[in-house]
Amino acid sequence: MIDPTLAADIREIASLQGTFRLRSGQISRTYFDKYRFEADPALLRRVANEMLPLLPADTEVLAGLELGGVPIATAVSLVTGLPAAFVRKEAKEYGTCLAVEGADVRGKRVVLIEDVITTGGAVADAARLVSAAGADIIGVVCAIWRGNGKPAIAALPDMPVTAAMTAADLGG
């Protein structure tokens, strides 16, 4: 069960009302501005702590998705001591020319870390890149699930997806 004070604090700082287009193309009257809680060290620490028990025991690397999953993966990494990798939306065209930076994921059991998931389109895109880098993706852990029903990603039907909070926990 989510810490009700955390849910209330996230709702207060990050829940915006209006008309918002989500990455999925859906229109929503409520938007969870994850950057507002990710930029607050105390809230970010509390979110990371809520995510810790959701990590599979055999996790070897945390892979934070650009951009919002990166600070969360870093915060979880600091607490667990697990190395972190950072997944770009596409390989950069300079320097290392990699889509997956940081910890080496090749041959490792990797958990994808995301901030807010509605349908999981960005997660499915990142999973392809992380798999192509040689990782064995064993799960997805997100801070907020705002999709319908139980957390799941249609494009990754066999992938376990867990969430620290849901839109219902946040009153949305």
Q: How far apart are the first and last CA of the chain?
A: 17
State yes or no: 137 annotated in a binding site: no
State yes or no: 117 annotated in a binding site: yes
Sequence-distant (≥ 6) Cβ neighbours of residue 27 within 8 angstroms? 19, 20, 21
State yes or no: 66 annotated in a binding site: no
State yes or no: 130 annotated in a binding site: no
State yes or no: 60 annotated in a binding site: no
State yes or no: 123 annotated in a binding site: no
State yes or no: 108 annotated in a binding site: no
State yes or no: 23 annotated in a binding site: yes
What number of other Cβ atoms are within 10 A of residue 96's Cβ? 9
Q: Which amino acid is at 45?
A: R
State yes or no: 150 annotated in a binding site: no
Tokens of 113: 């870390």
The Cα 99–Cα 86 span in angstroms is 8
CB distance 172 to 152 below 8 Å: no
Short-list 25, 14, 21, CA closest to 121: 25
Q: Is 84 helix (H, G, I), strand (E, B) or coil?
A: strand
Residues making up the annotated binding site for orotate are 118, 146
Residues making up the annotated binding site for 5-phospho-alpha-D-ribose 1-diphosphate are 23, 88-89, 92, 114-122
Residues making up the annotated binding site are 23, 88-89, 92, 114-122, 146
